[in-house]
Structures are given as C-alpha cells and as structure tokens.
C-alpha cells in the first residue's frame, strides 16, 4: 500500500475517533433529548456530507415511527411503518438491500441505522445519499453506528434524569402537601368554630388547588346538610343531596351519562365527586368543578382532597359533638334541678295519723318521672292519700304531675267531695293537656276516728287491701282516666271500713310491669311478697317489695316505681 494511502487512512481514523470523543462529551453533558437528536443529525450529515436526514421515533402503543426531527427536504408521511426484525442482528441497513424498506428509499433515504439501547428500541436515523454520490464505506458506517449508540445511551440517561427530576418534583409536591395538611390539621384542631373550619376548607380549595366551584355536604343525624359551597349558582335540595350519598363509588369523574341522569350536576358544573367515609362517623360528599388553571386532577390531587375532606369532616363533626355535649350537660343540669323540684313536691315524711302507719317512696326510671304520690293531713288529722301515673316520662310527664299536685293542694282546704273534685280535676286536665296525655289516678280520704277509707279510682292500678284470713281486695271503684274525655258522668265513690292489722298497698304499673325477658312481675308476685310480711311494719313491707322487683328485673327498670303502704294499728 502506498505511504500516502496509509497516512490518509490514519488521518481518517484519527478524525473518526476525535469526532466520537467530541460527540461523547457533548452528548453526555446534555440531558435534552431533542438537543441530542439534533446533534446526532448534524454530526451524521457532516460526517457523510449528506443534505437530508431524519430521526424516526418509535411509539410502542401505535407500533409505528413518526418523524421527530429532520434536516433538509423530505416527503415522509406522519407515521411510518418499519419492521424492526431486520435490525435485531445488525444495526444498519441499506434501504436498497431490503425490499421491506422500499417505501423509505422512495422518499430519498438510502441508509437506516437503528437507535437502541440494551433494553429497548428507540427509533431510526435515516440518511439521504452523499452529495458526491459515492458509496458509504464500512469505516463511515462504524463511526455512525458508534455515534448512534452513544446518542442512544445519552437519550436513556436523559430519560432517567427526566424521570428523577419528575420524581423529585412529585416528592417535593408531596412533601409540600404533607406540610399543608399538617398546618391544616393544626388549624382545624385549634378551632371549635364551625364557620372558621368551613372558611379554612374553602380557601384551601381556592388557593391550593385552584378550584372555584365546589360543595361539601355532610349528614347530621341521618339528614343531608350543605356545610360549604362556592360558585354553584344554585342551592342543592334534599333529594339532590341524597343522590350524592347513594352513588356507588368513592371517586367519580362526572361523565355525560351521569349528567344526563342527574341534571343538577350539569347545572352546577361538577366535574369530580369524592365520598368521604370516616369509620364510625356519618359520611360526607365533596363535589368539585374543573380547576381554574385547566390542569386535570391527578392521583396526588385526589389523595390530597380525600385527606382534606377527612380533616374537614372530623373537625366539623367535632364541633357538633361539642355542641351536643354542651347541650347534654345543660339538659342534665336542668333535669337535676327539675328532679330536685319534683322531689320537693313529694312529701318528705308521712304525716302522723292516729291508728295508721305509712311508708311511701318514688323511684323514677329517668332523672325526672311521671309518677306522683301525696299524703295530706287536715286539721282533724284525717289523711288524704293520692297516687298517680302520667303517660310518658321525662320533663313533659313531670310538668303534668306538678300541675296535678297543685290542683290537689288547692282543693284540699275546701269541703268538696271526692266525686265532685275528681270530675273537676278531670275537666281541667282534659282542657289543658294534649290528647295523648292521660293520668291514671287513685285517691282516698282516711277518717281515723271511724277507721274508714273513702276513695275514687280514675283508671289506676287498683290498690290491694290485705286482711288476715281473706283474699286481697281490689279498690277499683271510680271511673275513667283523667284527661281521656270530658266529665260526662260522675265518678263513683266507695267506702271501706278498715280493721286492725289491715294492710293497703298502693302502687304504679312500674311495679307489676317490671320485665324479665318476656315475663312481667305481675300482680300475683306482688300479692305473694306482701302476704308473707303482713305482720311487719309498712316500711319493711315496702323495702321487701322493692327488693323483690329489683331482683326480678335485674335492676333494669323500664318505668317509674311508686309505692304507698299503709297499716291499721
């Protein structure tokens, strides 16, 4: 070989190596894919002296190549179908040598070099003919293949760097979200003002996510309630809110089908619906319009919104629980006062009555009850005894009981017979109470000189008169419940002459209707309990009854319990 040819080959080799070295430095330092591919085109065109080149980029989903960048004129279509199989064993193909690449040749390209790394195919470098019409040498192909290989590595590195940057951005955004949620949590927890919590929720959506149109709907004791809304241009009614809670998914992108089914979503321009379900708490629904910046909601946004919704829901429900607690404490205080007042309306100790021993008690199943008893002595030391049971429990029943007590004490000084007085009481109760309120009532006057009891029973459990050697007698003569109907017929009065050691037990249905399973305590148990103790003091008899009933129902009273036990001595 002539010396000049050897020197030319050496110069070409050194030039190729220098080109590769300079190119590698350029490409490694760049993380811009378009910059890398543009430089690959320019260097390749300069190396081969061609005036036409293109990068055909592969799209895996479509399985086609598109022209990503080019230099010079070309007539390639937008999408180019190139089989990759011919390039699995070799990186370069002359278009003319491959019948499958004839469509590439027709567009003025002669050389195709695959751009790929160790993991995947990226695309092709397509080159037109050399300007001097000479053939491409093997050395030039080797240099080009090396350039393409380095470019593929640089592209992979660029993609990796881009992924890392994207991951860092997402991580930064996630950290910012966590800090935001932490700050929001502190703000929510520090506030017991529901309106302030709603304001924080509103401005977080406006400022953090650029959402201008939204609503927050909760449930309060099973009823839907709009807690916050903005930009809807309408008011949600109960049926519309109920629809939101009946949706079967927790994250719903509102589509045309859902808008057609529920037109109010179209009118309110709601784009996204989130259902918030805190365990053990009533649920909530957040509806959101599109973001003002036009960016679609991503998964990180949805996670943030769910966390925000949970925080807002818990904080709002906390304020309701606090209000309920305050209301409960207020009611308990009022009930405690009402109980104290009610206890003062009951006699402290039975008045001393000749020939008569008495014990009485009232045990309410609620803090205040609807049972009532009274023992009123007159100037002659005769005794008026009364026992009553108002329908219902709690404050309404106690108020009606207090009214009855007032009426009895007003009538007591006047010489009015039991029949007439009972009729007047009935008329008063009927005219001044709701139609669903009644009073079962028994009262009598004991005249100690003659040991005589005169009584009227207005629908009450008949008191029991126990006399040794006889069956218990029921004191049932009277008439209808107080307040059930106007006094059209007079009540009936009965008189009983009492003997030494006779025992009378007056009681409310809290005694006989105490329940154990499906069984009631009933009158026969009461009779058996008293008959064993007829020789005891009324206080002992009363305590025995209470103990027996308590044991029977396992101390689970479902109604007030009131007793008056009298004994002739």
Of 88, 89, 134, nearest in space to 111 by CA: 134
Q: Residue 255 pLDDT more than 80? A: yes
Whether 341 is in a domain gets the answer: no
- pLDDT per residue as tens digits for the range 261-305: 999 999 999 999 998 887 667 788 999 999 888 888 888 888 888
Looking at the structure, tell me whether residues 361 and 509 fall in a common domain.
yes
- State whether 226 and 146 are in the same domain: no
Do both 517 and 385 map to the same domain?
A: yes
Backbone φ, ψ for residue 138 (5° rounding): -65, -35
Q: What is the CATH number of the domain that holds 198?
A: 3.30.450.40
CA–CA dist 93, 127 (Å, integer) = 11
pLDDT in tens, 325-380: 888 888 777 777 777 777 777 888 889 999 999 999 988 776 566 788 999 998 88
79-82 LR contacts (CB < 8 Å, sep 24+): 80/56, 80/104, 82/56, 82/112, 82/124
Instruction: Tell me: do 105 and 203 sit in the same domain.
Output: no
- Neighbouring CB atoms inside 10 A of 237's CB total 11
Helix (H, G, I), strand (E, B) or coil at 395: helix
Residue 52: CB atoms within 10 Å: 19
Residue 7: pLDDT above 60?
no
Q: Is the residue at 169 inside a domain?
A: no
Which are the contacts of 121, defined by CB distance < 8 A and separation ≥ 6? Answer: 58, 84, 87, 114, 115
What pLDDT does residue 15 have?
A: 47
Give the model's confidence band at 433: pLDDT under 50 very low, under 70 low, under 90 confident, else very high: confident
Q: Is the dihedral of CA 386, 392, 396, 398 positive or negative?
A: positive
Residue 8's pLDDT band (cuts 50, 70, 90):
very low
484 and 442 both lie in a single domain: yes
Check whether residue 417 and residue 521 sit in a common domain.
Answer: yes
Residue 317 sits in the same domain as residue 355: no
Picking from 287, 306, 321, the residue at the C-terminal end of a domain is: 321
| 32 found inside a domain | yes
Q: Examine the domain organization and report whether 317 and 360 are in the same domain.
A: no
Residues 354 and 314 in one domain: no
Q: Poorest-confidence range of 13-17, 56-60, 207-211, 464-468?
A: 13-17
Is 293 in the same domain as 356? no
Residue ending a domain, among 112, 144, 162, is 162
> Across all residues in the chain, what is the average pLDDT?
84
Domain boundary among 142, 162, 182: 162
Return the higher-pLDDT residue of 170 and 569: 569
CB 484 within 8 A of CB 438: yes
Looking at the chain, how many residues does it have? 569
- Burial code of 261-297, b = ≥16 C-beta within 10 A, e = fewer? ebebbeebbbbbbbbbeeeeebbbbbbbbbbeeeeeb
Domain check: are 390 and 250 in the same one? no
463 with 421, same domain: the answer is yes
- The rounded distance, in Å, linking the Cα atoms of 189 and 179 is 15
Q: Is 136 helix (H, G, I), strand (E, B) or coil?
A: coil
CB 436 within 8 A of CB 483: no
Stronger pLDDT, 562 or 40, i.e. the higher one: 562
Which has the closest alpha carbon to 50: 80, 34, 71, 77? 71
- DSSP string over 316-356: HHHHHHHHHHHHHHHHHHHHHHHHHHHHHHS-SSPPPBTTE
Of 139, 162, 154, nearest to 9 by C-alpha is: 139
Residue 368 lies in a domain: yes
> What's the number of domains the chain is made of?
3
- State the pLDDT at residue 1: 31
CATH number at residue 387: 3.60.40.10
**What's the domain range around 479?**
347-568
Per-residue pLDDT tens digits for 378-394? 888 899 999 999 887 66
Strands 64-71 and 383-390: unpaired
Confirm whether 419 is domain-assigned.
yes
CB atoms within 10 A of CB 229: 18
pTM for the whole structure: 0.54
Contact 37, 55 (CB under 8 A): yes
Q: Does any domain span residue 556?
A: yes
Tens digit of each residue's pLDDT (9 = 90 or more) over 178-195: 666 667 677 767 677 888
Q: Is the pLDDT of residue 556 over 80?
A: yes
The answer to whether position 182 is within a domain reads no
Tell me, yes or no, whether 177 lies in a domain.
no
Q: Exposure pattern of 483-508 as b/e (b: 16+ CB <10 Å)?
A: bbeebeeebebeebebeeebbbbbbb
Euclidean distance between the first and the last CA atom of the chain, given in angstroms as a whole number: 154
């Amino acid at each position: 070989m002539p010396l000049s040819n050897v020197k030319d080959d050496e110069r070409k080799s050194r030039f190729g190596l220098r080109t590769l070295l300079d190119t590698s430095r350029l490409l490694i330092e760049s993380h811009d894919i378009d910059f890398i591919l543009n430089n690959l085109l320019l260097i390749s065109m300069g190396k081969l002296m061609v005036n036409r080149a293109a990068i055909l980029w592969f799209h895996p989903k479509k399985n086609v190549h598109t022209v990503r960048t080019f230099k010079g004129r070309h007539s390639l279509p937008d999408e180019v179908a190139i089989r990759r199989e011919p390039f699995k064993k070799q990186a370069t193909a002359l278009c003319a040598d491959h019948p499958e690449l004839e469509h590439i040749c027709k567009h003025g390209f002669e050389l195709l070099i695959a751009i790929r790394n160790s993991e995947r195919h990226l695309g092709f470098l397509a080159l037109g003919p050399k300007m001097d019409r000479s053939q491409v040498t093997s050395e030039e192909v080797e240099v080009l293949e090396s350039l393409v290989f380095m470019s593929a590595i640089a592209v992979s590195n660029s993609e990796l760097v881009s992924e890392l940057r994207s991951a860092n951005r997402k991580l930064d955004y996630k950290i910012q979200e966590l800090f935001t949620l932490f700050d929001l949590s502190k703000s929510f927890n520090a506030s017991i003002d529901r309106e302030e919590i709603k304001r924080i929720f509103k401005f977080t959506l406006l400022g953090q996510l650029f959402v201008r149109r939204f609503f927050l709907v909760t449930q309060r004791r099973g009823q839907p309630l709009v807690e916050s809304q903005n930009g809807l241009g309408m008011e949600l009614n109960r049926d519309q809110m109920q629809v939101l809670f009946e949706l079967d998914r927790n994250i719903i992108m509102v589509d045309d089908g859902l808008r057609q089914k529920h037109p109010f979503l179209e009118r309110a321009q709601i784009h996204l619906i989130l259902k918030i379900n805190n365990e053990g708490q009533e649920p909530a629904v957040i509806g959101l319009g599109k973001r003002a910046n036009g960016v679609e909601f991503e998964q990180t946004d949805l996670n943030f919104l769910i966390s925000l919704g949970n925080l807002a829901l818990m904080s709002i429900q906390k304020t309701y629980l606090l209000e309920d607690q305050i209301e409960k404490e207020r009611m308990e205080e009022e009930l405690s006062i009402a109980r104290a007042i009610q206890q003062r309306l009951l006699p402290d100790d039975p008045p001393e009555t000749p020939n008569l021993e008495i014990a009485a008690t009232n045990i309410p199943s609620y803090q205040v009850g609807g049972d009532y008893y009274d023992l009123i002595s007159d100037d002659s030391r005769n005794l008026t005894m009364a026992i009553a049971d108002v329908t219902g429990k709690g404050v309404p029943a106690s108020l009606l009981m207090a009214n009855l007590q007032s009426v009895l004490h007003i009538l007591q000084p006047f010489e009015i017979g039991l029949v007439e007085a009972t009729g007047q009481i009935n008329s008063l109760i009927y005219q001044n109470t709701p139609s669903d309120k009644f009073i079962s009532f028994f009262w009598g006057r004991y005249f100690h000189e003659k040991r005589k009891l005169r009584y009227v029973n207005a629908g009450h459990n008949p008191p029991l008169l126990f006399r040794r050697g006889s069956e218990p007698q029921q004191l049932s003569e009277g008439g209808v419940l107080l307040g059930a109907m106007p006094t059209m017929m007079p009540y009936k009065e009965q008189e009983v002459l009492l003997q030494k050691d006779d025992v009378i037990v007056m009681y409310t249905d809290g005694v006989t209707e105490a329940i154990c399973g499906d069984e009631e305590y009933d009158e026969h148990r009461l009779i058996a309990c008293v008959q064993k103790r007829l020789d005891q003091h009324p206080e002992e008899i009363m305590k025995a009854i209470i103990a027996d009933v308590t044991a029977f129902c396992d101390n689970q009273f479902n109604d007030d319990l009131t007793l008056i036990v009298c004994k002739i001595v």
